[in-house]
Structure 1
Amino acid sequence: MMKKGILALGLLMLVTSCSEYQKLLKSDDTAKKYATAEELYTQGKEEKSNKKLRKSIRILEQIEPQFRGKPQGQRLSYMLADAHYQLGDYFVSPFEFERFQQLYANSEKTEEASFKEAASYYYRTPPYNLDQTDTKKAMEELQEYLNKYPQGEYADQASDMAAELQRKLEKKAFEIARQYHKTEFYKAAIASFTNFIADYPGTPFREEAFYYRFDSAYKLATNSVAFLMEERLKEAKTYYEAYKKYYPEGERMEEMNASLEDINSRLQNF
């Protein structure tokens, strides 16, 4: 009986709370709306309550335009942007943070807003095998933050994020080139790996790119008609030498040496 009473009381409080909230949304009491929005935002952030954050956003969207340009407007604009950010609304938060920076360029929250704008793009980037437009945009925004705040509070985090996204772009480019190799489009593979090596000199996929470029050239040559084979075998040898120059103790060296022996044997026929 006591449990039922507690449950009934809880439901009554919930209904009353919802009713009060709906009344507040329809009211013209901006002071109460301001206080309630701030309370819901603070509690929602501390408690990680999406429900309270969403409630806060509904009120903030109503009153923020009325306070724009006023002292309270700065706080409201930031809360609106950050509430979306805390909810993971990363398609909305960057625009709200950008607007905040435009309206309140001298705010002490400007650096944080700049970082969170960039981070919003970072968090919405897709896996490497999908379109990387958002990844490139995120890198631009992170670099913009780092340019503005090279010693900023979030500089290390922004640098780590940018490096991670760079690796994602590298992985995308590498896998495209490797797919050409896998599907036996060897000319396209050679061109793609050559561009990859030039575009990403510090990539962890560099050794593999040198190997696959050689292997693509080797297979292209050995599957060529006679009048093209000699030139292509010689080209494959140059790619072998390039790999050996940078990776004399590389993991692929033994396999490539075997291929080189075959190349040299075939060249004796010309």
Structure 2
Amino acid sequence: MFLQKMKKALLIVGVLLLTVSCGEYQKLLKSDETGKKYTAAEQLYDEGKAEDSNKKFRKALRLFEQIVPKYRGKPQGEKLSFLFADTYFELGDYYNASYQFERFSQSYPKSQKLEEAAYKKAKSFYELSPRYDIDQTDTRKAITELQSYLNAFPQGDHVEQANEMATELRVKLEKKEFEIAKQYHLTGEARSGNYRAAITSFNNFLSENPGSPFREGAYYYRFDSAYRLAINSFRDLMEERLKTAMEYYKDYKKYYPEGEYTEPIEASVEEIQSRLQNF
């Protein structure tokens, strides 16, 4: 019984303190006391970091929004500008974070926080990168920003993470390109011209992406597109197209003698050789 009363009393005290705290915060927001707002915003930012609290970051952000313009050109402006950008970053508002980190870098090009700002700006675009099948403007922007960070800070604290993110994003772009070419292949039966488009797309993919994890698939589907185009051709076009398919088969076997697609590709080659005997 005593413990229950104690718990209830502590709860009431906690609610009252929270109410007072919220009331003081609201008063501070409406006040003109810039110095107190600066101190409170920095404290809320630090507490947000320590507690991983979005609530604290959101409170800090409202204060930062009010006072950042008032400190531009002043000694406190550099630190305040960085904290403002980083609060957006911590809240996952990556569009505003990237914009504010850019402003910080332009305003304070000699800052000790310049590397961190460059990295977090690049990472903001990385976080904005969508699924591979959606427009990849932000992905390309992220790769550009990550490369800029790596060029500017080749011995930086975040080089390993930046390289990993850039590689991941490049693979995403390769997957999009590969899937577009593959879609031409998959729709070739309904429209034979799509087989030709698939061959062109896979040729471009192979020449532009020498280290891609999708290269084996590209070699196979290029062959399969050529094979299907050939066997569905008029007789006067078939022989030449069958021979082209055989050249693509040789390319696949050169790089992947025991590859994933060995069984289906060998079955198709048997038919090609059988048809070529009729010419």
Q: TM-score range by the shorter chain?
A: over 0.9
Q: What code does the residue aligned with 2:214 have?
A: F
Residue 45 of structure 1 and its aligned partner are, at CA, apart by 1.2
**Aligned to 2:54, which of 50, 61, 83?**
50
**Aligned to 1:260, which of 248, 265, 269?**
269
> Mind listing any 5+ residue stretches in structure 2 that lack a counterpart?
189-193
User: SS at the partner of 1:100?
Assistant: helix
Normalising to structure 1: TM-score of the pair?
0.96
Residue 119 (1) aligns with residue 123 (2): yes
> Mind listing any 5+ residue stretches in structure 1 that lack a counterpart?
none
Distance 1:85 1:254 in 2: 50
Residue 140 (1) aligns with residue 144 (2): yes
Tell me which residue corresponds to 1:66: 70
Q: What code does the residue aligned with 1:134 have?
A: D
Tell me which residue corresponds to 2:110: 106
- Deviation per CA, 1:117-173: give whole Å up to 9, x if none: 000000111111222111111001101111111111111110110001011111111
User: SS at the partner of 2:94?
Assistant: coil
Q: What code does the residue aligned with 2:162 have?
A: A
- Deviation per CA, 1:22-70: give whole Å up to 9, x if none: 1111111111111100000000111011011011011111111111121
Distance 1:19 1:250 in 2: 68
Q: What code does the residue aligned with 2:68 have?
A: E
Number of aligned residues: 270
Distance 2:260 2:138 in 1: 35
Q: What code does the residue aligned with 2:53 have?
A: S
Normalising to structure 2: TM-score of the pair?
0.93
Q: Pairwise CA RMSD of aligned residues?
A: 1.2
Q: What code does the residue aligned with 1:24 have?
A: L
Q: What code does the residue aligned with 2:105 have?
A: Q
Query: More deviation in 26-35 or 213-222?
Result: 26-35
Distance 2:178 2:267 in 1: 25
Residue 221 (1) aligns with residue 230 (2): yes
1:85, 1:120 within 8 Å by CA — same for their partners in 2? Answer: yes
Q: What code does the residue aligned with 1:208 have?
A: G
Query: More deviation in 193-202 or 10-19?
Result: 10-19
